[in-house]
Structure 1
């Protein structure tokens, strides 16, 4: 019975809202998981803002936004690889990489949001 409780405890922690917010992540594995979730949320937000812009902007504006977005994605990916490069081989390297992806994706959402009509 105690064994089952021990096995169930990690699942309960994952369901805890504080856990989802990453406030108690202590290991690099936990931090990477949390940052991965934050990146997924940032990417979803970027897609939502892009969709709002697509619905509101003219075809000419969207053509330019698409061109910029197609250039921005490889820039973001390369910039984050470069930011993480000094940590190559270390357990912190993936955390640095995903944190960069999150930060730049959030900034891009802000940039696209600024293009939305008031």
Structure 2
């Protein structure tokens, strides 16, 4: 789950971070709802890891897993050719 969140944030976070201000109490469009849900996620995630000593461990573990996965994918692609 954390891996999926990191991937989502990596690809979608910058685009949503630059999103215009939205009145989340009266979000009318799907885009507005997406922006509001992302802002809610960011706020909840910040509280979860706020000052937590485990944050670097979780982040580094996820990044290590992603690196191993990508290395295996690249190795497989290279061996195919």
TM over 0.5, yes or no? no
Q: TM-score, normalised by structure 2?
A: 0.39
> RCO higher in 1 or 2 (8 Å CA, sep ≥ 6)?
1
| Structure possessing the higher radius of gyration over alpha carbons | 1
